[in-house]
């Protein structure tokens, strides 16, 4: 049984967060947490907390389950609201600056066992 955790309106551009999400997708939870714990990018800390939250949600659903076989089954990053600001530009003009944010969804599940006939 899978478990879901969501992070809403985190103030980082979706493009930067997707770089981390692509690294974590499909690997075991222990490796993902270790990788995110030592990653220098600023967005790694909330993403690590989100993976741990998904593991906690999975534990609540499966009280007798083993956490060692958990895998980050799905992780995706969607764009959220953008805050629009104006920057001064030459000759009295102004440029629009968009401060982007994102939504992240993590789904963890037990790794399926391959049965060969």
- Inside any domain, residue 87: yes
- Inside any domain, residue 30: yes
Handedness of CA 11, 12, 18, 22 (dihedral sign): negative
Residue with tokens 């995110």: 36
The range of the structural domain enclosing residue 56 comes to 3-110
Instruction: Evaluate if residue 115 carries a pLDDT over 90.
Output: no
Instruction: Evaluate if residue 56 carries a pLDDT over 80.
Output: yes
Domains contained in the chain, number: 1
Angle of the 29-37 helix axis to the 14-24 helix axis, nearest 10: 130
- Inside any domain, residue 52: yes
- Inside any domain, residue 61: yes
Q: Which two tokens stand for residue 28?
A: 């075991």
Q: What is the pLDDT of residue 21?
A: 96
Secondary structure of residue 6 in the 3-state scheme: strand
- Inside any domain, residue 59: yes
- Inside any domain, residue 17: yes
- Inside any domain, residue 117: no
- Inside any domain, residue 40: yes
Secondary structure of residue 53 in the 3-state scheme: helix
Q: Which two tokens stand for residue 87?
A: 């920057």
Domain CATH code at residue 10: 3.90.470.10
Using a 10 angstrom Cβ sphere, with 0-12 exposed, 13-18 middle and 19 or more buried, the burial of residue 32 is buried
Secondary structure of residue 88 in the 3-state scheme: strand
Q: Give the tens place of pLDDT for each residue, 3-47.
A: 999 999 999 999 999 999 999 999 999 999 999 999 999 999 999
Q: Give the tens place of pLDDT for each residue, 69-99.
A: 899 999 999 999 999 999 999 999 999 999 9
């Amino acid at each position: 049984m899978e478990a879901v955790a969501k992070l809403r309106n985190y103030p980082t551009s979706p493009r930067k967060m997707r770089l981390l999400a692509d690294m974590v997708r499909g690997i075991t939870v222990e490796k993902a947490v270790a990788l995110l714990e030592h990653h220098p990018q600023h967005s790694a800390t909330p993403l690590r907390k989100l993976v741990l939250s998904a593991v906690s949600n999975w534990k609540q659903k499966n009280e007798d389950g083993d956490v060692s076989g958990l895998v980050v089954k799905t992780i995706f990053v969607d764009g959220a609201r953008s805050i629009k600001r104006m920057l001064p530009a030459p000759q009295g003009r102004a440029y629009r600056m968009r401060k982007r944010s994102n939504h992240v969804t993590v789904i963890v599940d037990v790794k399926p066992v391959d049965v060969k006939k």
